[in-house]
Amino acid sequence: MTKKNKTGIVVGLFPEQYKISDFRFSKPVCHQQWKKGILSGSMLLQEIDEVKLQEKKLTYFTPNNIGILLSVNSSYAEKAEKIFENNILSKVNSYTFEGTDIKKKEFIKSMSGIVCDYIETVQIAIVFGYTALETFSNLSIPDEFIYKKENKSKKINEIYEKNAIERWISLKEKIQHILTNIYKTTKAENQKWWGLFTSLEQLRNDIIHQKSVQHTEFYKCYFEKTIFKICSCPTDIIKFFYTAHEDRNQTNPIWPWLKNERNVFPINRNYNSENFEVVGNIYEGIKKNVKN
């Protein structure tokens, strides 16, 4: 346990000993102690949390916020594609009720239900994917970060601190100007995923800011070939910043696990035993009362 009142379990000594059991968990931090340039001690500490459940307590590894959102995004994007391939494209030769040999009313009723299922899964993938990028962007901004921009219409320079950036700066501007600055990357708008992101943002806004309950025209773009690439682009965007960042700094605990990637661990190379306290063990539980 660190003296910041966070509790963790030692799950190993070195990163190579750790096997990822769930991509939604927060990464364990590798705490290292160095003496005269030689590694003298190491441990992997994975944070745990608990919630009161009636009169008992439920203990669990702390989830990674971005990892949870990406998991929902990817699982529903895959589900949507399966519905589209297996239940829409391949179900009938003609997609209109005039072209079917079965009862017309039953056909259109059945297909309409499938279409609604499909729309639901696409929208969940879109909203959670966009939210994952918002969360990633906001958590990436250091507390002391200052963003300056020119307001040409008012002919003034505007200065934004972290809280103001989170509230007033659009996600597109955060990715395009702020994250590229923080992670020292090339231009975001030059990447293959940039057009997919702008489409994702528009689709998300169409869902969240619907101006008329009668307006359903925007659903039709869900049936275009690019929709699944659009839904899956949040992972590609995070991978872009991940790749640029991993060689410069491996101590960022906000990073989620990414599938099919070389996942690095957040590393604390300045371990100080005074910042930690042993309060129990995994077999006997926490023996000492900890104030959260």
Flag whether pLDDT at 75 surpasses 90.
Answer: yes
Count the neighbouring beta carbons within 10 Å of the beta carbon of residue 24.
18
Lowest mean pLDDT among 44-48, 158-162, 261-265: 261-265
Q: Which residue has the tokens 């990464």?
A: 27
Flag whether pLDDT at 233 surpasses 70.
Answer: yes
Structure tokens given for 67 = 């990892």
User: Which has the closest alpha carbon to 244: 185, 176, 182, 177?
Assistant: 185
Answer with the residue of higher pLDDT: 164 or 213.
164
**The three-state (H, E, C) secondary structure of 236-262, written as one string:** HHHHHHHHHHHCCCCCCCCCCCCCCCC
Q: Which residues fall within 8 angstroms of residue 78, CB to CB, at 6 or more apart?
A: none
How do residues 108-134 score in pLDDT, each as one tens digit?
A: 788 889 999 999 999 999 999 999 999
Q: What is the mean pLDDT of residues 132-160?
A: 90
For the chain, what percent of residues have pLDDT higher than 70? 87
Alpha helices, H only, 169-280: 171-173, 180-182, 194-208, 227-246
Q: In sequence order, what are the beta bridge partners of 151?
A: 156
Q: At what angle do helices 104-140 and 227-246 cross, to 10 degrees?
A: 20
Q: Sort strands 56-61 and 147-151 into parallel, antiparallel or unpaired.
A: unpaired
Alpha helices, H only, the chain: 65-82, 104-140, 162-168, 171-173, 180-182, 194-208, 227-246
CA–chain centroid gap for 100, Å, is 43
Query: Which band of pLDDT confidence, cut at 50, 70 and 90, is reported for residue 1?
Result: very low
How do residues 174-218 score in pLDDT, each as one tens digit?
A: 999 999 999 999 999 999 999 999 999 999 999 998 776 566 788
Query: Which band of pLDDT confidence, cut at 50, 70 and 90, is reported for residue 88?
Result: confident
Lowest mean pLDDT among 81-90, 173-182, 220-229: 81-90
Across the chain, what does the average pLDDT equal? 86
The ranges assigned to domains in the chain are 7-63+264-286, 65-246
CA–chain centroid gap for 216, Å, is 28
pLDDT at position 127 is 98
pLDDT at position 264 is 79
pLDDT at position 227 is 97
Rg over CA atoms, the chain: 24
Query: pTM score, two decimals?
Result: 0.85
